Structure 1
Amino acid sequence: MEAALTPQDILRRYAKGDRDFSGINLNGIKLSGANLSRTDWLDVNLSKAYLNSTVLTFACLTRANLRGAVMMGAHLCGANLNQASLSNVNLSNADLHGASLQGATLFGANLSLANLMDANLIEADMRTANLNGANLVGACLRGANLRQERAIGDQHDIAPSQKKRSIASLHGANLSGADLRGANLSGADLHKADLRGANLQEATLNGANLSEAKLNNANMQGIFLSEANLSNATLSGAVLSNAKLERAILIDADLNGVNLRSAVMADVKASRVQMQGTDLTDTKFSRADLSRADLRGAIMVRANLIEAYLARTNLANANLTDAILNRAELSSANLVGAILIGATLPDGKIHK
């Protein structure tokens, strides 16, 4: 009976050329270190299996049940894990280069230091996953779900200590060039993550921690960053037109030369932010704290700065044509060479 297959049975069948192990119940089996490349495991039950350093390159694991499996250092290059159940699996330091995990469930999975270069993670459920130090260069995460969880829904075999974790952790992860269009990363920890050149169009990162993250030349059009922490982040060359950054923290961030046209930045905390030459046309800065910010040469045509705090802000040579500055604090700002034609000044008067 196949349900009672032993590790020796699997290895013996493989040695004889058998590559199809689909539909078998292998719950808790121990196959660590085995070479099982180019095998078929469709709909197989490998929950709680021990697969440390197992070679499964180009294996087909579509819809496989790998919940709670231990797969540290496993070799899964080019493997097909579409729609597989990988809740709480330990894939730390595993090699998933070019693997396909489209629609897979990775809830609570440990992918720390894993190689996910060029992996397909479209619409994968990655809530509360640990991706610390993972390599996601060129990975596709369109529509992936990494949002913060208020109450963990998938409780399969979660240890009590694990239940406390409520955010996806990508601390220091390499996501340069990754496709994250429409991904949900609300509340995710992306501290010091590398997102240079990543595609984040219309992605949701509300409340995410992006402090010290590298976002140079990233496409962030229409991104949702309300209440996100971008302190000390570098975003030079990034495109954030129509971005939503209400109540975001941008203290000491580098946004030199960034496109922020029509962005919503009400109530942001952006003291000492670098915005030299930044395009802020039609941007909404109402009640924003821009104290000591460097906005030299910034394009702020029609910008809404109602009640903005601009103490010691450097606005030298900035273009504030038709800007709205009602009740803004400008008393100690540097306005040398600034263009204020048609601007509404703090006292309500229009500058001629």
Structure 2
Amino acid sequence: MERIDAEELLRRYAAGERDFAGFNLSGILLGRRYADELIKRYQTEENTRIGGVNLRGINLSGANLEGANLEAVDFMGANLSSANLTGAILQVARLNEANLSGANLREVILSSARLHQTNLTGAILERAISYDAEFIGTILKRAKLRGASLETSRFIDVDFTSADLREVYMGPATIEQCNFTKANWNRGNIYQCHFFDCNFTNISFSKAKMDGIRFVRCNFTNAKLTGIHPFEAGFEESVGL
């Protein structure tokens, strides 16, 4: 795997190179300065964003990408573990099969992003914003999402085991076959969501606000539902209540 630094990345980009798949930039500082420079150069080509850059399989473990505009970048299979992506723009980004375990994604924008089989174990996504994103087979074990906004997104076979979902806003959305075991969703705001075949064993929903919710064939064994009124949600064929 070839290792390059930020200056070399800029030089190659200026020369017209767009495919950086498999490069090793672990620990690189590729924050606002470099991202903005990439965008500026890309815009001179009558484009409006950095989109289309191929960073598949790239190693950015521990990199500082704070505030970077990474809209529509293809990070499929990339290693972004422990990277700092605070406030980054990942709108329309492709993060399928990427490793973002332990990454800092506070206040990141994930609108219309694709996160299929993405590893976000222990990642920090507090106050993240996600509209129309796809989370399919995503791993969010022990992830911290407090205050995140997950609107009109799709969740299928997502692992939220022991995730911190306090004050998370979700809806409208369809959530299928997801595992919320031991998750903390206290004071959450859940609006027009339909949960199918989900596992809520040992979850805490204390003082959560719900409106227009359906739980179909869900498992609530040992779940804490303190403060939730029965009229706020429908529990069809669900168990453990």
TM-score, structure 1 length as denominator? 0.60
**Is 1:294 the counterpart of 2:200 in the alignment?**
no
Map 1:64-213 → 2, pairs under 5 A: 91-92=4-5, 95=7, 101-102=13-14, 104-105=16-17, 124-138=18-32, 139-140=34-35, 142-143=50-51, 144-147=53-56, 167-213=57-103
Q: Give the alignment partner of residue 159 of structure 2, picking from 269, 289, 304.
A: 269
- Change beyond 3 A, Cα 1:288–1:169: same
Larger radius of gyration: 1
Residue 286 of structure 1 and its aligned partner are, at CA, apart by 1.3
1:322 aligned to which of 203, 206, 212 = 212
Q: Shift of residue 299 of structure 1?
A: 1.1
The runs of 5 or more residues in structure 1 that have no matched partner are: 1-87, 106-123, 148-166
Alignment partner of 1:255 out of 145, 148, 156: 145
- For the residues of structure 2 that align with 1:89 and 1:312, how far apart are their CA atoms? 46
CA root-mean-square deviation: 2.1
Q: What amino acid sits opposite 2:55 in the alignment?
A: L
Give the Cα–Cα distance (whole angstroms) in 1 for the partners of residues 105 and 217 of structure 2. 33
Q: 1:255 to 1:89 in 2, by over 3 A?
A: closer
Separation in 1 of the partners of 2:31 and 2:21? 20
3-state SS of the aligned residue for 1:104? coil
Instruction: Give 2:170's match in structure 1, choosing from 277, 280, 283.
Output: 280
Q: How does 1:212-227 map to 2 (within 5 A)?
A: 212-227=102-117
Aligned pairs (5 A) from 1:326-341: 326-341=216-231
1:204 Cα offset (Å)? 0.5
- Give me the whole-angstrom Cα distance separating, in 2, the residues matched to 1:136 and 1:340: 50
* Aligned partner of residue 131 in structure 2, secondary structure: coil
1:297-321 deviations in Å (ceiling 9; x for gaps) = 1111211211110001001111222
Task: Give the distance between the partners of 1:89 and 1:307, measured in 2 at CA.
Answer: 45
Shift of 1:254: 0.3
TM-score when normalising by structure 2: 0.86
What is the CA–CA distance in structure 1 between the aligned matches of 2:165 and 2:90, rounded to whole Å? 21
* Greater per-residue helix proportion: 2
Aligned-residue offset at 1:324: 1.3
Name the SS for the 1:312 alignment partner: coil
Taking the aligned partners of 1:186 and 1:145, their CA distance within structure 2 comes to 9
Superposed CA offset, 1:40-95 (max 9, x none): xxxxxxxxxxxxxxxxxxxxxxxxxxxxxxxxxxxxxxxxxxxxxxxx86545x74
**Does the CA-based 8 Å contact 1:104-1:125 persist in structure 2?**
no
Deviation at 1:343?
2.1
How much has 1:218 moved relative to structure 2?
A: 1.0
Q: 2:183 and 2:148 mapped to 1: Cα distance?
A: 15
Equivalent residues of 1:196, 1:215 under 8 A apart: yes
Structure 2 CA distance for aligned equivalents of residues 268 and 258 of structure 1 = 16
Post-superposition shift, 1:342? 4.9
Q: Partners in 1 of 2:148 and 2:229 — Cα distance?
A: 20
In 2: Cα distance, 1:340 partner to 1:104 partner = 60
Q: Is the 8 A contact 2:4 2:25 kept in 1?
A: no
Q: 1:229 to 1:97 in 2, by over 3 A?
A: closer
CA distance in 2, matches of 1:340, 1:299: 16
> Alpha carbons of 1:246 and 1:270: their partners in 2 closer, same or farther (altered >3 Å)?
same
Q: Using the alignment, how far apart are the partners of 2:214 and 2:176 within structure 1?
A: 9
Report if aligned partners of 2:125, 2:148 keep a CA contact under 8 Å in 1: yes
| Counterpart in the other structure of 2:233 | 343
Taking CA–CA contacts closer than 8 Å with sequence separation of 6 or more, which of the two structures ends up with the larger relative contact order?
2
Q: Which moved more, 1:282-291 or 1:138-147?
A: 138-147
* Separation (CA, whole Å) in 2 of partners of 1:327 and 1:180: 39
Pairing partner for 2:199 from 306, 309, 316: 309
